[in-house]
Structure formats: C-alpha cells, structure tokens
A = this chain, B = another copy of it.
Amino acid sequence: MRLSRAAEYAVRCMLYLSTAGKGVLVGRRTIAREMDIPEQFLGKIAQQLARAGLIEIIQGVKGGFRLVVPPDELTLLMVIEAVIGEIFLNDCMLWPESCGRSPVCKVHVVWENARNQLRETLRKATFSSLITESPVLSPDAHSSLSLLNP
C-alpha cells in the first residue's frame, strides 16, 4: 500500500520540469543529478511520461526532456498514473468478477469511495501549486488540518 519509487521519481522529474517551465528543454543528466534519480532509471520512467503525452523527449547532443503540458494543467494524479497505471487500491475494483461478493459487498463500496477520494485529492494537486514557494497557509489549510485531529 505504498507508492512505487518509480512514481516518486516521476513526480520529482516533473517538479523540476515545471519549475523550468513548459517547453523548456532540460538534460536528463541534470534532472537526475538535481533530483537524486538514477539516470538510466529516469530514462525508463521518461518513456512512460512521454507515452502519456506529458513530456517530449529530444534526442541527440543537447537532448533532454521538455514539458508538454502547462504546470497548471498538470496534476499529481496524471503523473502517478502515467507510471503505475490507474489507481484501484483493491483488486475487486479493477476486476469485480474476481470476487462473487462484489455486487452486494459493503467493503467494496468503501474502497470505491476511498479510491475516488484519493484520486480526487491527487487530481486537485496541480504542479503549478506544488512548485510555488511556501509562504503562508493555503486557502484550504483549515479543511486540510482538520483531518489531522479527527
């Protein structure tokens, strides 16, 4: 029940590219060094991000990656699911037929809600909001903090 390292690397890569700005070309080596990602592994991850249409990969001398989607349209969910596939949390979400109980199972419904909630939270996190310096509390800080003391 944890994020894969590959997805975390993808997020870091996109943080760097978002800071550079849409369309700005950045070398793979630079990103790997600055964000503590094994360079070859980053190559593999970048392939997935490119296939998902999030970045463009440039070959040759002075090659590298460039952001295709503007940071304010790019979400954590997009980046993570580009790498690990759609989030389902429980197998019976993806294959309801794998468990005969699914049509009447209330646990199934809980997972459904949990999944929607999680994906919604990740969808709301745009990269433009993630790369801004953290000066003060965000507007919805209260609703977030309220979760800490239930």
Roughly how many angstroms separate A142 CA and B4 CA in the complex, as a whole number?
33
Contact status B106-A130, CB under 8 Å: yes
A76 to chain B: which residues have CB within 8 Å? 107, 110
In-complex Cβ contact of A117 among B8, B15, B80, B147 (8 A)? B147
Interface size on A, residues (CB 8 A): 45
Q: Which of A44-52, A59-67, A88-96 contacts B (4 or more CB under 8 A)?
A: A88-96
Roughly how many angstroms separate A89 CA and B131 CA in the complex, as a whole number?
21
Interface residue ranges, A against B (CB under 8 Å): 1-5, 7-8, 11, 15, 36, 76, 80, 84, 87-92, 99, 104, 106-107, 109-111, 113-114, 116-118, 120-123, 125, 129-132, 134, 144, 147-148, 150
